[in-house]
Structure 1
Amino acid sequence: MRIAKPTDSLILLNAMAANGRPHVCVTLGYLIGADGKTMNERSAWQFLRTQFGQHVFDEGLKKTRGTFAVAGNAYSPAGTRASTLSVTARLGDISKTLKVYGERRWTRTRQGWRHTEPLPFDRMPVDLQHAYGGQDWPANPTGQGHCVDSQEIEGVLLPNVEWPAAPVLTPQDAPAPATFLPIPAGTPERQRLVGTTDEHWLRTRFPGFPDDTDSAWFDALAADQCISTYWRGDETFELIGMHAEKCTVAGRLPGLRPRLLWCLKPDIGRVREALLQLDTVWLFPNDERVLVLYRAFVETGESGGADAVEMFVHTESLTGPAETTAMLMKQWRPDGTEAERAAGRAVQGPNALAQADAVWAEISATHDEIVKEIKAKGGPAIQRLVVPPLARPAPGPDDTTQLNEEAIKGAVKRTTSGVEDEIRQTLKAAGVDVDGLFTSAERHSATARLPVHAFDAAALPPNFTQKNAAELADAESLERRITAEVASAHAATSPGLNPLAAPHRVLGAETLRAAHARGETVTRVRLEDADLSNMDLSDADLSGSEFVRCKLSGAKLVGAKLDDARLVECELDGVDARHASARRLLVSRCAGDRVGLASADLSDARFVQCGFAGADLSGARLQAAAFVKSSLAGANLMDVQGRRARFTASDLAGVDATRANLEAAILEDSPISGARFVEAYLRGASLWGVQGEALDFRRASMAGVRVGRASRLERSCFDEADLVCAGIEGAVLCGSTLRGARLDAALLADCDLSGTDARHCVARGADFSGSKMVGAEWSGANLMQASLRRCVVLDANFSHANLYEVDVRTARAERIAVPGALLTRCAWQELQV
């Protein structure tokens, strides 16, 4: 292998199989110093070894979108020692915040297990070793805080780095590790994304990845550190709380445009350019350095793997002009290749022109045959097309050198590209399978796609090359820009596309309908701007397919298979997809009223900026599904199985989730007024920043539920709900009812409980520290050994309540009613009214 590259670039090669064929994944990196300049290769590797030691910082696999990671420490502001602080990382339009604490340990109190106050610190590593985990916790065996034996909890360290929306409040809490770093490949979170490893995989893809591998596996990072497209390369970044002296480290990515030319032995005369895409950014805030990693696939075929590849790397600036491939070739090989030098020594004279006549006759015949076949298969609309004959290039002077057949074919290919585009557009409008139709015709064509410099190898006459070289160079530059734009647009509409999966077949609406009617397979098809309204695709296998800007109003997809499918900007009014299998489905910017998804399997599906008001998801499987900035207002979620589902900034007003299983689900920053969770299973669920009133949680199982600050659940009903060990902090519950609810060992700190009715609730050992209980009705409640420290208790009724050993130190209590209450070892004995 020979690689020509600048001294400030790093290169990593990973030989692998993709679609059953040998490939090399080329990773090209640049480390940017604090001065904004690229560092030389030796210094860059030394720095990376210092940062990561023997740990792998990159897996050398091409990703389907842009990601970023951060390596560093949290620092208290200069000259201080903080016990807790937040660290924030932002790149482009996405940001992420983590909470960092000093050392804390579990200790038993009268109210149950509580952690000690965090100790002050100067510096705290923000790594997996200080996130939640433990030796027996597969998600992060190097972390801290996990304890298997309940008898050994005393003194166990809590994690130093936590999610702001999922703090560890009890020893039973087991959140995902909070980190800016990649997720190790062997963890369950990554392993569940690997596809089916069966006999078919062993026969056809091993040792490569299964075709149904989820593209998120290649990200290697949490979804909140990924964007839908690749990075441009000049985005701004900002890091807060991760520099020893500066509160904020800010800057901009270097704005590079690397280029990669390559060829394979022995065909070194055929040079191609690979499209490099920036998929990984590493930020090192304390050292004020940035690592950018660009990647591309190079297919090696059967040529002998990576050793058979020769490469040339050239670095440009995004703000400067892009060099043509021909100019880059001259930089790589100023004297030309062996093929070019041989062409320069070619025989001149009449024999060359005679050879040119024979070549041209063959090309013309092949062109006529292709046009004839396309017209025969294309129907009346295609038959009416008038295809102009090929125009042969003007002959050169008598001293013409021997013509290179491949170069002529390359020129003809460019000449006829406009005709082919016209035919393709007409076919597409007529609903014809364009790719399938062209496949047969392409078998007859031996034309090759050559770069501009191939015309030099052809040794064409000077009057021909001089006249056309500039135009061809401009055309190639334009082609490259268009290719990049198309790739970027495709990534934006299909962010989860697996680069190792087979390519999509592009179909029209009628072709899809006919294929399904004939019982043909329609997996991995792609439709754009197609009208599929009222089409019956029941039981169709559309796995891995893509629908972009399609009309699906009234379509029937009952029992259809939509696993790994993508729907982007589609109209879905009245779609009936009951009992559909849509695991890992991605739906982006789609909308529809009365969408029917009852009993559908939507496990691991993602809905982004969608409008599904009034949708029927009753009985659906929503395990680990995510709804982001979407509307489910008034939707039917009865009996759904939604363990670990996530609803972020989504409208859940009026949803009916009666008997739903939402164990460990997350609801954050979402309006939720009027929602019903009667008899729902919400054990370990988290509600952060939710806003609503008149919610119904009657008889809900909410043990260990977390309700975060800024949440408002006013005038809601928690009657007979199980809230044992719940963690509710800073929430507003004014006017809510908790009659007969169980709150043993629960935390309701700094909450507004004014006007609440909690008659006959059981809250033994509960902690109400700092809460407001004005006008509260808690008669008959069992608050034995509870804590009301720092509480404001005014005009409240605790008659006939069990207040045994209740801690009311530092509480403000006025006009409270305690007739008939058990006040043993409670300081309120003297406050009876």
Structure 2
Amino acid sequence: MPVFSEPNLLPGWRVFKLDPPRLSLVCFVKSVHKLAPDLLADWDGDPATLLGDMRHDDEPTRSLAYASDFVLSKPRADVTLVGKAYSPGERPTLTLPVRLQVGSVVDKILGIFGPRVWKGGLLRTTITEPEPFTTMPLVYELALGGVADKRNPVGRGRDSDELPNIEWPRRLITGRNDKIPPAGFGPVAPDWVPRTGRLGTYDKTYKKTRWPWLPADFDFAHFNAAPEDQQVDGFLRGDETILLENLHPTIPVLRTRLPGQRVRLFLDVLPPGGEKPVMREVGLRLDTLHIDTDKEQVVLVWRGHTDAPSFKLKELKDVLAVREPLSAAPRPLEHYRAILAHRVENPLEEHIPPAVKVQIAEAEKALADAEVQMETARADAEAKVEEQKKLALERGVSPEQLEPKPLSKYEMAEAAAAQFVAAKAQMKKMGIADDDPRMVEVDEGAKKFQEARVQMGADRPPPTREELEAAARDGRPMPKSDLTKMNLAGAKLAGLDLTESDLSESNLSGADLQGATLAGATMLETDLTRADCTGANLDGVNLMTCTVEGIRLRGASLVEAVLMQLALPGIDCTGVKASKSNWLECDLTGARFVEADVTEAIMLSVRVEGADFSRANMTKTLFEDVKAKGIRMIGTTITELKASRNSDFRDADFRTATGDGAMFRDVILDGARFAGGSIRKGIFADSSLVRTKLFRMDLAECDFSDAVLEDTLLAESNLLYCLFDRATLRRTRFDGANMYQSSFMETIFEDPVFRDANLKRTGIES
């Protein structure tokens, strides 16, 4: 569904049964700001994204650096901070107080100590004096804890010689076994105390009455990641002041304020049996304030929930996220209903990016330099002509006979280029090496005049067929030429460079264009019947109106080419380079794209029944409304390939195909074969997989939600963390599959086979 939001607002949602059987839509809106004195500013760095739990340095054994945006609910607001402590002026110090204050709801001081160790033996233990420091990371690894400490298993001081560097100023450590909680500003991991004590009871009663949802005694305070003295009853307003003391590298005492904004979220939902969506507002509360002083970043998250119309949210038509100043009264619903209606009708308004301009500065400079040199040559030549004219007049020759025919710029460039080529040949005869500065200078001059000659092709009469064939034989490039309506049937043009030439309405039937360069050429109604374009460069060419029966394209380059409504059954495109090409309503039945590069290509309403894409690179290729029955993709790279809109892949062969993130949503895969490949994090949601074979596949974290898996084989496959929510599993075989912690919410089971499968933490019994 379309999502409309004001800048710096990032909405997200989850469907969940917070209170079974009631279905809830949990919504959240994230806003990222730059930490600055006086008032937070909108973030101007990399675009914000919604994140799950993030550990420091992305190491799973480290403490938590950022708590998930996706939690279901928070009974109180979280205030957290990560970063470093800084001594003022970078002066070494032994101890340092740091302070975090948010309005009147959080005011916390911690003591930072330089490195210390336990000293002594069995009878008496002492603490060494702290060593000087200027900065200290604020992580729980430097707070009191140890492996056996469930409050902080990554800390120090209990089972290590090093003492904690972060302490409570009024509860300093005196011994290893002191009953003191870890000191810190950062988020607490979900698998640490006290969060683990709020997970509820998972027993037989739970399995019978609540599985797979949360138990009845689940405490939603589990989702509060802030230390308990940084949790705020009644949530945050959004205009609180912030004070950071010794927590910024250059500002010892930083005072700022939240932006004072009210965030609102509106949904357009189609009611049961209705034809017109109804707008509703989701009440949001500001429940997260996260400060990262290293990034100079402040994150705010608003959260709320409402009734969900269904799991798949097909009734949800539009989403609108806005912000208002807290100082103003909330605008009425009608105001935002009008805004949403306008944006739905004009989805691109105010969001159209500036046009992408072709960068031609270097080419223009080269052409200008060449023209200067030509004008110099012209002036020299005219001076010599005047001298010869004077001598001729003295001998009685008439002025009319002496007036030379003016040379065009093209002819001058051609002559100058020829002189440079002749000079180079003479220098080679003299034994001058290619890297000699004089030879390099000649090469550069020839190149400039050749470029000028090509760019000034319009100043030249159209070449004849004989000239084109001669240029092809000699390996000479042709300038950009007007070749419209030329009869080049059967012409020998192999290897000829016709870049950006106009071949509209020309007859190239049966022409030999092997290895020719036609990049950017205009081909309106060009006849390419039986033309041999093997290895030719057709980059950027639009073949939509061309006649292409019997054309040969093996090994050709079709980068960004457009092929629309073309009948090419059985075409051999082996080894073609067709990245970002567009194939629209083409007939490619039985075509061969073996070892082709079709990355980021678009295939829309194309027929590829029986086509062979084996060992091709189809990374990010888009298939939409495609007829692909019996297609072969053996050993094909399908990373992030996207197939959708009822595309038909019946009896397709995907054996040994690999590609994480491939998507087959709402497609027909009946009878298709997958074996020995890898499609981790793939999507098969809403698809039909009747009699589909997925044998010994790595399908970890794949989504089979709402799919039909009837007589489907998933034996010996890795199905770790897969989603089968609301899927139909009718006689589906999971023999020997690893299904650890896969999800089966509201799944329909009809005689599935789980023989020798790993069903741990799935909630189902074999």
Range into which the TM-score falls when normalised by the shorter chain: 0.3 to 0.5
Larger Rg computed on CA atoms: 2
TM-score relative to the length of structure 2: 0.41
TM-score relative to the length of structure 1: 0.38
